[in-house]
Amino acid sequence: MSEALTLSSLPLFPLGTVLFPEGLLPLRIFEVRYLDMISKCHKTGAPFGVVALTQGSEVRKPGDSPSGDGFASEVFHTVGTLATITSYSVPQPGLIVIRCSGAQRFEISSQEKLKHGLWVADVARLDNDQSVPVPDDLFGAANALGKLIKTLQERAVPPEQMPLEPPYRLDDCGWVANRWCELLPMPVELKQRLMQLDNPLVRLELVSDILEKTGIAM
């Protein structure tokens, strides 16, 4: 496989959420295992991987684990999303505040937990969504998202507080579906399944069903 499609020893950040391509992710970093990793990623412009937890918590807690390191086990999905740092600040010693953008999805081929608790993995990048125009029968989902964006703009929400960033590709199935997946209060497992779908049209169809059931888009 081409080196361009693989990454070795990618640092991972297991979280209780799912990052979608082109999605936004604000993080406050204070754990020792992540402070150095995030600092290095920022300096080099390298990405890190965001994976959704299936067991354990975002912050390390004491407990029993197969590794015998005295901390509770952490288990996460093998498909995640690369994150690139778009803003970085150190408001006080031992705290880093960042804002990230989701890039390409990846699948883990092997993983290892280092001595200080940081997970690294060898991964293969997954294909980006193909650009698929939003069909007429799903236009309600795009229209509702456009109205939400307009409302936020009219309220003069600062760019750093917007839950999504331009370009607003309201004519693209994958983009519209991904933004709704981030905005809707869905279980993490459902978001993960939707993120892993290879077909952006199917993803938008499923999201549109949820929007109709909630009365957001008719």
The verdict on pTM exceeding 0.85 is yes
What is the spatial distance between Cα 102 and Cα 20, in angstroms, rounded to a whole number? 6
Q: What is the pLDDT of residues 100-128, one digit of tens each?
A: 999 999 999 999 999 888 999 999 999 99
Fold of 3-125: 2.30.130
Which residue(s) pair with 11 in the sheet? 120
The per-residue DSSP string of 151-201 comes to HHHHTT--GGG-SS-SS--TTBHHHHHHHHHHHS---HHHHHHHHH-S-HH
Q: What Cα–Cα distance (Å) separates residue 110 from each residue in 6, 39, 72?
A: 12, 24, 20
The mean pLDDT of 49-70, rounded to a whole number, is 72
Give span(s): CATH 2.30.130.40, the chain: 3-125
What is the spatial distance between Cα 129 and Cα 127, in angstroms, rounded to a whole number? 6
Give span(s): CATH 1.10.4060.10, the chain: 136-214
For residue 43, the model assigns a pLDDT of 95
DSSP summary character for residue 62: B
**φ, ψ (nearest 5 deg) of residue 206:** -65, -40
Instruction: Check residue 114 and give left, alpha or beta (phi > 0: left; psi -120 to 50: alpha).
Output: beta
* CATH 1.10.4060.10 for the 136-214 domain, yes or no: yes
The residue among 97, 60, 94, 99 whose CA lies nearest residue 83 is 99
Encoded amino acid at 118, one letter: L
Cβ distance 15 to 51 under 8 Å? yes
The residue among 80, 78, 79, 60 whose CA lies nearest residue 70 is 60
The mean pLDDT of 13-35, rounded to a whole number, is 95
Element (H, E) at 101: strand 95-113
Calculate the dihedral angle through the C-alpha atoms of 122, 74, 22, 99, rounding to the nearest 10 degrees.
Answer: -110
Query: Does residue 69 surpass a pLDDT of 60?
Result: no
For residue 3, the model assigns a pLDDT of 47
The mean pLDDT of 148-162, rounded to a whole number, is 89
The residue among 70, 20, 34, 44 whose CA lies nearest residue 204 is 20
